Structure 1
Amino acid sequence: MKTKSIKFLLLVFLVLPASGYPQSQLVGLGRYVIGVTTPDSLNSTDFQEQEQAYVKGTLTLPCTHIRSFKSNKVQGADVLTTNLLLLFYDNKLFKLICDYPDELKAAFLAKNGNGISRPARHVQVGVKNKSTSLVLTGEVWQNADIEVLAVHYKGDKADYQIEETDRLMIASKTISALASDCDLQNVEPLIEEFDKMLNDHRDQHPERRTIKQIRKP
């Protein structure tokens, strides 16, 4: 009996997700599929290609593998997607970021279930040479190499005009790592910051970080 119990516990351990995050079949958002969608498949009336990305810290070394396209709004099968940014590596989609309003949230959760909620974090941000604090929260999902972040941040709108915002990011972790040397335009620093918080356990004070500038999507 004891041997059977040990075998059962080992089986449970092996089938549990190694990351601790909910496992899903999520591979993208609607017609935009990580590792499959190409720039040629985009509707040119909906998307505009963004400026060339450069290696961080330089203005002359282009990241020729990277292309990015942005749409203010695009109608999907279920809901309207707004402020959608698509990032391609060697002409294959590796990251997408968009607004995460209630309509999209309801459709997304109906298909993928709830993610793992992360504790709130406070970050210091600079806007127009002033500093204020934002509260950063979110949820996480994972499907093999694909990681999904739903990020919510809220600031002091009365003083600094920082909107309360929800954003969704779906990305290949492997390709994102390959592209990490590039300065990816229009990727909000707070989304990158939330991603770092999930993986950075070496910081002595993980509950507080500093971001120099916020650019609205």
Structure 2
Amino acid sequence: MSDAHLIPRDRLDMAAIALHRVLVQNDFNHTFFGGYQLQLMGSIRGTKDVDVVVKKPVFHGFEKVKRAFVDHPEFLVFDGNRTDAIRAIHAPTGVGVDILLEDPPKGKLVIPDDPNELPFFPATHMFIKKIKCLSVRQKETDEEDLVFLFENYALDQQKISKKVAASQRDEALRRHGNNDRVAEILQSLDLQ
């Protein structure tokens, strides 16, 4: 990703705070993740959006979450065919927002460098998500993120082996085996 497409941290912070505010006001259980989180954790990689997982409400969940953002003047929501994700723009900052409707991890991480104390994926859950991403797509930032998390955070191997199938690891290896460090990390995982 070229630097021209990366968003300055202050604009990402403003978009994340606005996103958090809407989710809290509407009582939606949520957890941030992705490139924005990794920046706060100390990664040097940039990002162009803010990602958040929202627990889908039981009745008309997608519609409720989407309506909260359609009705909010700070967000421009894109229409699409998906019912498991919402794409929007935080208009004041121009920052893209990806809202995924799925169960967030049980634990939450508060990052010391985040003055807003937003809820984030624990490092192990981010690592698991990155392995799953590596198994379905070719994205260099996923490789960088996997290495960063592995080298900088204590990861719960037991949790990884419960949440990642050997077939997912093997597919990630097939797709990214040309990156020696990624291959070494993936091969070190004790999966069933």
Asked if TM exceeds 0.5, the reply is no
Q: What TM-score does the superposition give when structure 1 sets the normalisation length?
A: 0.27
Larger radius of gyration: 1
Q: Which has the higher strand share?
A: 1
**TM-score scaled to structure 2, two decimals?**
0.29
More helix by share: 2
